[in-house]
Amino acid sequence: MVLSAFSFILFAGPPDVSLLFGGDLMLNAVPVKAAPLRALAPQAAKHDAFFANLEIPLTDVRTATARKTPKELRERDQYILKADPKHIASLKQAGITAVSLANNHAMDYGWRGLAQQNDALDAAGIPHAGAGKNAAAAARPTTVIAGKHRIALISSLAFMSRTALWKCTPATTKQPGIMVLPFNGTINDDARTKLKSWIGTARKNHDLVVVALHWGIERKAVPSPYQVALGRACIDAGADIVWGHHPHVLQAAEIYEGKPIMYSLGNLVSPTPAQSALISAKLQDGKWSLNVLPTAISGARVKFSASRADYDRRVRLFERAYISKQ
């Protein structure tokens, strides 16, 4: 079931758990005094937890990664970005409960930049997943308490190319970095085994598992076949929710085998104007429902919008590309 304009489930009572998901926090060139996320707080308060992808490292470290070359930066094939670490207060103000970190900018200022940010997140009581001092730490789940539920959040960069993954500094057994899924764009038996192990480990001592995947092609309205294959493989491997980001535009969401897959929620906030959305995911009596909450970004601030026409158009594109072929 694709989350269309008419998709809904009626509940007899309050949901077992109510989760709010946003897209990429593009806080580069966004002044702290703009209070960019303030308008989200009332909606966040209606949910048990609010998840967002912290795309831009919040650090004042000046030494940037050497993996993104001067030529790539000049030609805008790569970007090195950071934002004011005082934005941690913006996250708290918005009611953001936890953040994913396995993305293509988390290591833009190396381990020193990431460690400064993570220490600040810890001090603010904001759990994070997807990056750490070695591969084991980057793959490890963080625990989010949501109502009566213990939720495991795990996070990975999932670009198709190993070269693209390398540019973003994957964690190794001895070196810090981000969690990556190096599947070369193919979901085979080996990939499924690795997903089952990663997700199964996160399941221990948790009621639900949220898998955050940084994937896809920027500015594309329809998820790639690899996104669809990987998202569904994660559900098959035991995930309860797959939550995607990176394209910086909205893509459709679907209910696959009774579980939500959100392919891209665009930018949660950015320095440039955009249309986007959050998704409210509610679980009751073993059934998930999803509700799209359209947003608009203007003046480096996000506010809720009345129109979901942009999202519904992307649903129709998804249906033509995938559902009609099933």
Instruction: Count CB neighbours of 75 within 10 A.
Output: 9
Render pLDDT for 126-173 as a digit per residue (tens, 0 to 9): 999 999 999 999 999 999 999 999 999 999 999 999 999 999 999 999
Instruction: Count CB neighbours of 300 within 10 A.
Output: 18
Render pLDDT for 76-90 as a digit per residue (tens, 0 to 9): 999 999 999 999 999
The DSSP output letter for 12 is S
DSSP of 130-149: SEESSHHHHH--EEEEETTE
Overall fold of domain 17-325: Purple Acid Phosphatase; chain A, domain 2 (3.60.21)
Q: Is the pLDDT of residue 11 over 50?
A: no
pLDDT at 43: 98
- Asked whether the beta carbons of 276 and 295 are under 8 A apart, the reply is yes
**Mean per-residue pLDDT for 278-291?**
96
Tell me phi and psi for residue 297, to 5 degrees.
-105, 125
Q: For residue 23, give the nearest of 239, 302, 230, 258 by alpha carbon.
A: 302
Q: Which residues pair with 153 in a beta bridge?
A: 142, 210
Q: Is the pLDDT of residue 104 over 90?
A: yes
Label residue 99 by pLDDT band (50, 70, 90).
very high
CA distance 9 to 174: 47
CA distance 325 to 88: 44
pLDDT at 285: 92
Token duo for residue 127: 């759990």
Lowest mean pLDDT among 176-190, 295-309, 311-325: 311-325
* Residue located via tokens 């249906």: 319
Render pLDDT for 49-59 as a digit per residue (tens, 0 to 9): 999 999 999 99
3-state SS class at 92: helix
Single-letter amino acid code for the residue at 304 = F
Q: For residue 271, give the nearest of 30, 57, 34, 105 by alpha carbon.
A: 30
pLDDT at 54: 98
**Mean per-residue pLDDT for 306-325?**
91
pLDDT at 326: 64
Say how many Å lie between the first and final Cα of the chain, rounded: 12
Percent of the chain with pLDDT over 70: 95
Q: For residue 142, give the nearest of 169, 165, 157, 121 by alpha carbon.
A: 121
Average pLDDT of the chain, as a whole number: 95
Q: Is the pLDDT of residue 9 over 80?
A: no
- Asked whether the beta carbons of 236 and 257 are under 8 A apart, the reply is yes
Single-letter amino acid code for the residue at 124 = A
CA distance 227 to 18: 25
pTM: 0.95
Domain boundaries, the chain: 17-325
Q: Is the pLDDT of residue 14 over 80?
A: no
**Mean per-residue pLDDT for 193-217?**
98
Q: For residue 159, give the nearest of 183, 138, 139 by alpha carbon.
A: 183
Helix and strand element counts for the chain (H, E): 9, 16
CA distance 269 to 83: 13
- Asked whether the beta carbons of 212 and 129 are under 8 A apart, the reply is yes
Render pLDDT for 27-47 as a digit per residue (tens, 0 to 9): 999 999 999 999 999 999 999
CA distance 55 to 211: 16
